[in-house]
Amino acid sequence: MAKYVKLKKVWKMLHDLGGCDAEPESWADGWDKAIDAAIGELYKLPAADVQEVKHGKWRQEYRSGREINKGFVSSCCDMWNERKTDYCPNCGAKMDGGKNEK
């Protein structure tokens, strides 16, 4: 499962770990140590509570190929709806025809 963290916390952590306050000739060494330390610290950050967005699009037929006379069918869960909406009322998929449509 993917782990999502807050970008501001990562940026502050990297800034605090080294390189930023070092002498100019030691910046590279400071950043090498900071990156090593950052990798260890990243695993300690709490994950954000997120869910991957499902995408779909409205169609004029079911997956079986059976066409409909009225309304629309969602490509994400094959459910009929009388009108196009921004989100599938059955499964919550974003109905924008996104590239990760299943």
* 58 band by pLDDT with thresholds 50, 70 and 90: very high
pLDDT given for residue 74 in this prediction:
96
* 50 band by pLDDT with thresholds 50, 70 and 90: confident
* 3-47 per-position pLDDT tens digit: 677 777 777 776 666 555 556 565 566 666 767 777 777 778 777
Report the chain's C-alpha Rg in angstroms. Answer: 23
pLDDT given for residue 55 in this prediction:
94
Residue of 53, 54, 42 whose CA lies nearest to 9: 42
**The overall pTM is greater than 0.95:** no
pLDDT given for residue 92 in this prediction:
93
* 79-91 per-position pLDDT tens digit: 999 999 999 999 9
pLDDT given for residue 20 in this prediction:
54
pLDDT at 64 over 80: yes
Scan for tokens 């800034």, then name that residue. 15
Strand (E) or helix (H) holding 84: none
CA gap 93, 25 in Å, rounded: 52
